[in-house]
A = this chain, B = another copy of it.
């Protein structure tokens, strides 16, 4: 594998991630109002967060799965600081449950503080770009179903990590086929599978093991495997 002449470029896509502002249906719930008051923000401008809004979330469709900005945060911290990114071979995209597409410039240094990250994302939902529309490092667009996000990348290979996929090690997954560009889709939710049907794009559905691994474990293992072929012994 290490003898591959190519150093493929990657795009890591967090698919159907649970990043959204508080939905209309629960804007007047007590825990939402209290949290918004503490944070001195309008309820409609704050991110839905399972660790603060749990009491209201059973009123939402798929409430058990939603409100997980922490997963997006972990994913981005790992991708943006990775050696793959530093080597200029990674692009990172967040796709959300409401079909937003968030593109993050590789040179972006996001705050490791969760609290600040949430503030940044809230400003992104309000303004469509941060730090500014003129020089955006993070940019959000609406109306992007996951299949369109993936299609637009026009990669040679599409790897979808899914607990029901064929078991393989990260090195096996990366090294199994030569390719100039590889899209890796990881589901941005706590459990379950993607809702989107990506089969028209002939994805390689793979899994790192029979256990349900958390997003940051899958992400970090895939980043390490993707980087190692060009730098190892």
Contact = CB atoms under 8 A, between A and B. Distances in A.
A81 interface: yes
25 contacts: A38-B38, A49-B113, A51-B115, A51-B116, A52-B115, A71-B112, A74-B77, A77-B214, A78-B220, A81-B213, A81-B217, A82-B217, A83-B208, A83-B211, A83-B217, A83-B221, A86-B211, A112-B214, A114-B114, A114-B115, A169-B228, A169-B232, A220-B220, A224-B224, A224-B225
Contacts of A169: 228, 231-233
Interface residues of A, number: 40
A171 B232 CA distance: 7
B81 A216 contact: yes
Interface string A78-119: 100111001000000000000000000000000111111000
A55 B132 CA distance: 26
Interface hub of A70, A115, A211, A224 (most chain B Cβ within 10 A): A224
Given A50-B113, A82-B217, A83-B221, 5 more contacts: A78-B220, A83-B211, A83-B217, A169-B232, A171-B228
Interface string A39-56: 000000000011110000
